[in-house]
Amino acid sequence: MNVLGGAIMVNVPDPDASADFLISHLGFTDTISDDGLAVVFSAEAGLHIAFLRVGAPDFIPESIAGALSKGMIIVLVTDDVETEYSRVQEAGVDIVTPLRFSKWEASTGERYFQMRDPNGIIVRLTEWV
């Protein structure tokens, strides 16, 4: 299989609010804005994230449709998490996990913090160290 690309699709009550959050605070760009659908793109990461309004007929199977605010974290990697932490704090973003370090193996790990978007989606900015 040759994967050519991909996207994350998230069902939320207000797609524009989540898209605007990523555009305003994390440098994503708007690619599609339609009734009930907002798709943003990060050129640096080559990442599309699509937000679809809860109840939209395009979200199938119907058995899994519904707002997602638990059990998912969107993780974005940066090369200077401390600067980003200060920047979004100053912007008044809802920080739900302050800056911290998680050790993985011998001398590796990650520095990260987590924030909440207007639909309750957790976005983690992390720097691998």
CATH, range 7-57+68-128: 3.10.180.10
Q: Where are the strands (E) in the chain, listed by range?
A: 7-12, 29-34, 37-42, 47-53, 73-77, 94-103, 109-116, 122-128
Sorted by where each begins, the domain ranges of the chain are 7-57+68-128
Backbone angles phi and psi of 18, in degrees to 5: -70, -40
Q: Is 104 helix (H, G, I), strand (E, B) or coil?
A: coil
For tokens 């798709």, the residue is: 39
Give the pTM: 0.88
pLDDT digits (tens, 9 = 90+) for 94-120: 999 999 999 887 778 999 999 999 999
pLDDT digits (tens, 9 = 90+) for 17-42: 999 999 999 999 999 999 899 999 99
pLDDT digits (tens, 9 = 90+) for 49-105: 999 998 887 777 777 777 766 778 999 999 999 999 999 999 999 999 999 999 887
